[in-house]
Structure 1
Amino acid sequence: MNNNTPKIPFAMAMLPIILMVGAMLVTIVIFEGSPHIPLAFGTTVAALVAWKHGYKWQQIEDSIYSGIKLALPAVVIIMLVGVAIGAWIGGGIVASMIYYGLQILSPSLFLVSITLICAVVSIAIGSSWSTMGTIGIAGMGIGISMGIPAPMVAGAVISGSYFGDKLSPLSDTTNLAAGLTGTDLFEHIKHMLYTTIPGLLIALAVYWYLGLSFGASASEFENIATTMAILQDNFVISPWLLLIPVFVIVLVTRKVPALPALIVGISLGFLSQVFIQGGSVADAVKALQAGFSIETGNEMVDGLFNRGGLESMMYTVSMTIVAMTLGGVLENTGMLKAIVAKILSKSRSAKSLIPTTIASCFMTNATCSEQYISVVVPSRMFAGAYKERGLHSKNLSRALEDGGTLTSVFIPWNTCGVFILATLGVHALEYAPYAVLNFAVPLLSILFALTGFSIVKLNSSEQVAAGADDVTTTTTSTEEPGMMQKAGH
């Protein structure tokens, strides 16, 4: 915004958020509806507030479109993941992953195992979404077949996926947080180890404890054997099919962009359904569009495999677009800036600055519905405050990831929350208690800030250099929309 842009006071900036949250509670809790209309209502109120304070309708409309434009990369990935799920189920890839997973994984250690597997894959490819859309889908099938509740399995998948995403040098959010704060990438990753490693250990301990309830009883063995028999009856199960997800993962590790890698995976799944599973081309095309369809007589198996396809993602796509209209208005009319500035004015010390940053990131996730905005906006708002208090930029970059990247999964209408619902089939309110790493790390970050543990301060020469870098930081912040548009989860 320039100096001539109308400024909206804090109280009026909060009005759309308060009314939206109220409408959301009534719609979801009482009416058991979806978040779409409350989000659209919030956008309407925000537009009226902006218009009342001097914004022209064209400016408001441009803000809406800029918010939608920001979400387009995520929308494309969401649609392709839906197509990939249909292709991989139809091609027998998911069935083979579940079949062999049931052979080698034990129920009692499954939650621990799937967390570690997702963590390793996510570190390798740098993407939580790609990990959940491949390994996560198979993990859901294996866990549910073992009698483990879906929310628990989803929580473990999410914890592992976000652990790897957070610490991978290939991760977009990791590079974004480091770049926007002017922090060396590997210094940023090293500093995140203080909160992320303990967070993972806490998560693994919780999953180990929860797993004690799922011992290999006779009934569970019977369920597993039944599931494996049904898979063999309805799919061609082959270890060669496992090479397809491995090949896609290798492509991403070799820095092939997510979209081409997904298209390769979809193509291989399509060919597998036609030439390995013996399906017709028409059925394979239908699986891409409307999802795979099967009737085995087993409700659990049918529920696992009757899914996927482009159409299955339209709920998610529409929610993402509607949510980003609200985020666009709040961000581009300065309402979000007014709210963050008010919060910042209450932070008087270094100890309170990091908790304030984390809370602001979470609030941005809830209001703007996109984890990239939760990293970008607070980085711009809080950079000066960290310098004034003599704190190294890696404290800010870590707080941005601890409070922004990780908490995005807890907001049902955030792009991450809607993606997980569409991919893993579990609502944010259901898996939230089990996504242990995602809430343990922000809490540890706040605890460390209050105690001073792992908080790095600038020495005198670094403070001088930080002051000289102000111009560079300002230049970088003007480029952030382009950075976000190119990024993928």
Structure 2
Amino acid sequence: MDFLIAVIIFTLSLVLSISKGISTIYPLLIGMAAFSMVAYKRGHSLKNIAAMNIKGMKKALSLMPIFALIGMITALWRASGTISFFVYYGTKIMNPDFFILFAFLLTCVVSFALGTSFGTCGTIGVVLIVLAKSGGVNTYAAAGAIVSGAFFGDRCSPTSSSANLVAVVTDTDLYTNVKNMFITGLIPFVMTVCFYIFLSGKYPLNTKNTELLNEIASYFNLSFVTVIPALVIFFLAIMKKNVKISMLVSIITAFIICLTVQDIKLYELLRTMLFGFHLNPESSLAKIISGGGLLSMVSVSFIVLIASSYSGIFEGTGMLNDIQGFLVKMSEKIGVYLTTLFTSLATCAFCCNQTLPILLTEQLMNKIYEKKGLTKEHLSIDIENTVILTAELFPWSIAIAVPLATLSVDAGAIPYAVFLYLVPIINVMRLPKWSTKNLSVKI
């Protein structure tokens, strides 16, 4: 009963924060306090409870340098013209008769480079939705394609905070996970492309508003050299270099381009790395290109750290034992993957974000995977194929609410974001039981 009361307190605080537009840090702190009180009531000392919280947070500490690099790289890519290069030339080569397909493919490229769905929707996504509205394209269909592409990279980019979080909590290799995500996402990707080809035929772009593109070209030097920071990430990812090294090299490259190509002063560039890239608020590009910076990742870092403390409390007190027992029985009847999918849907609906469901699903399912003789890589890819995408199927989740608000559309766009649910559905059709220990070889 005490655990249920803590869950209700956390849920109510989360609902209130979302409805009032308050940072989720506060309900997470309330939840941490509520679950800590349950632990105290069950006989654990305050010292032990603090140790549990710290133990949980330690899992996420290794992510902090990566988050810092992500903040700086997204700011410098904006300042160096790298993002503008993708937006400008990607939109330029777009075939109006296949606008929705191009919207999906272009956002896939940008999101894989950036590793963030929010950043993708806030840059190329805004440009594409403006083009869709001016060209008479169904905005729900266009937004669905944009969201699908945005979460393509959010799921499998080496620079994605969620991909790095999954790798850390499951103790798996990031690039092995990326490879497995491409394997398990190939069929859903092809089916998504076919769907958007069909929608493109129904909703072609009638006109192309070039005002934004002209303003981008007038503000930035868009020579080919500006795309080098992104190419560095792609190349080093293929070479399986440490993601922190890859991002650091990209940051240095973008830094040099900012100084030499975009003529940004050194002190302005250092401020950009800390506070983000910001254009004149009167410019129509301000809301599209501005953003990033080291400080932009502070909130994300706190959210991950606080959410990680829950796993320490749950593990140390055994609060989730009853739920785990229920899931063990479920896995015997419907299989491990479907049980993971069910768990992801339940945790995403309850937690309204990606971070905590990742941690909860891993903690609830890891022993089941061990019992079935499955590797950590199996658990990792199943979390990527469920939690990372199912979180966006709930309109009240921050994971989808922010991108939709950025694109100025409502939840009517979610049914058109087919990649989000094709990946979980298609992977249900895999072998009912894992037949191999090497996921990368056979599925």
| TM-score range normalised by the length of the shorter chain | 0.7 to 0.9
Structure 2 residue runs without a partner (length 5+): 134-138, 438-443
Paired residue type of 1:332? G
Equivalent in the alignment of 1:339: 323
Equivalent in the alignment of 1:3: none
Residue 46 of structure 1, CA deviation: 0.4
Establish whether residue 279 from structure 1 lines up as the match of residue 269 from structure 2.
no
Maintained 8 Å contact 1:199/1:444:
yes
Establish whether residue 71 from structure 1 lines up as the match of residue 60 from structure 2.
yes
Maintained 8 Å contact 1:374/1:404:
no
Residue 92 of structure 1, CA deviation: 1.7
For 2:326 and 2:402, the matched residues in 1 are separated by 33
For 2:113 and 2:92, the matched residues in 1 are separated by 26
For 1:396 and 1:266, the matched residues in 2 are separated by 32
Return the match for 2:418 from 436, 461, 473.
436
Maintained 8 Å contact 1:87/1:288:
yes
**How many residues end up aligned between the 2 structures?**
417
Equivalent in the alignment of 2:277: 292
Equivalent in the alignment of 1:104: 93
Establish whether residue 25 from structure 1 lines up as the match of residue 9 from structure 2.
no
The more displaced of 290-299 and 253-262 is: 290-299
Equivalent in the alignment of 1:380: 366
Equivalent in the alignment of 1:455: 432
For 1:139 and 1:236, the matched residues in 2 are separated by 18
Establish whether residue 325 from structure 1 lines up as the match of residue 302 from structure 2.
no
Paired residue type of 1:454? L
Maintained 8 Å contact 2:274/2:295:
yes
Larger radius of gyration: 1
Kindly report which structure 2 residues correspond to 1:148-163, keeping only aligned pairs within 5 A, or say none: 151-152=143-144, 154-161=146-153
Equivalent in the alignment of 1:311: 295
**SS, match of residue 132 in structure 2:** coil
For 1:296 and 1:35, the matched residues in 2 are separated by 27
With over 3 angstroms needed to count, the CA separation of the structure-2 counterparts of 1:233 and 1:324, relative to structure 1, is: same
For 2:396 and 2:10, the matched residues in 1 are separated by 12
With over 3 angstroms needed to count, the CA separation of the structure-2 counterparts of 1:89 and 1:432, relative to structure 1, is: same
Equivalent in the alignment of 1:250: 235
With over 3 angstroms needed to count, the CA separation of the structure-2 counterparts of 1:359 and 1:240, relative to structure 1, is: same
The more displaced of 102-111 and 63-72 is: 102-111
Kindly report which structure 2 residues correspond to 1:46-57, keeping only aligned pairs within 5 A, or say none: 46-57=35-46
Equivalent in the alignment of 1:358: 341
**SS, match of residue 407 in structure 1:** helix
Equivalent in the alignment of 2:225: 240
Kindly report which structure 2 residues correspond to 1:108-257, keeping only aligned pairs within 5 A, or say none: 109-113=98-102, 115-116=104-105, 130=115, 139-140=124-125, 142-144=127-129, 146-147=131-132, 151-152=143-144, 154-161=146-153, 189=180, 193=184, 196-211=185-200, 215-218=204-207, 221=208, 223=209, 225-257=210-242
Paired residue type of 1:239? F
Aligned-residue CA RMSD in angstroms?
Answer: 4.4
**SS, match of residue 320 in structure 2:** helix
With over 3 angstroms needed to count, the CA separation of the structure-2 counterparts of 1:445 and 1:16, relative to structure 1, is: farther
Residue 298 of structure 1, CA deviation: 4.3
Maintained 8 Å contact 2:171/2:376:
no
Residue 253 of structure 1, CA deviation: 1.5
Identity of counterpart residues, as a percentage? 18
In the TM superposition, what whole-angstrom CA distance separates every residue of 1:299-327 from its partner, at most 9, and x where no partner exists? 3x221122121222223223223322334
With over 3 angstroms needed to count, the CA separation of the structure-2 counterparts of 1:108 and 1:175, relative to structure 1, is: farther
Structure 1 residue runs without a partner (length 5+): 1-10, 467-489
For 2:18 and 2:365, the matched residues in 1 are separated by 32
For 1:190 and 1:290, the matched residues in 2 are separated by 33
With over 3 angstroms needed to count, the CA separation of the structure-2 counterparts of 1:349 and 1:319, relative to structure 1, is: closer
Maintained 8 Å contact 2:39/2:49:
yes
Equivalent in the alignment of 1:302: 286
For 2:123 and 2:323, the matched residues in 1 are separated by 42
For 1:39 and 1:230, the matched residues in 2 are separated by 42
For 1:47 and 1:104, the matched residues in 2 are separated by 55
After TM superposition, the score normalised by the length of structure 1 is: 0.70
Establish whether residue 89 from structure 1 lines up as the match of residue 81 from structure 2.
no
For 1:296 and 1:237, the matched residues in 2 are separated by 22
Residue 240 of structure 1, CA deviation: 2.1
Residue 280 of structure 1, CA deviation: 1.0
For 1:19 and 1:358, the matched residues in 2 are separated by 25
After TM superposition, the score normalised by the length of structure 2 is: 0.76
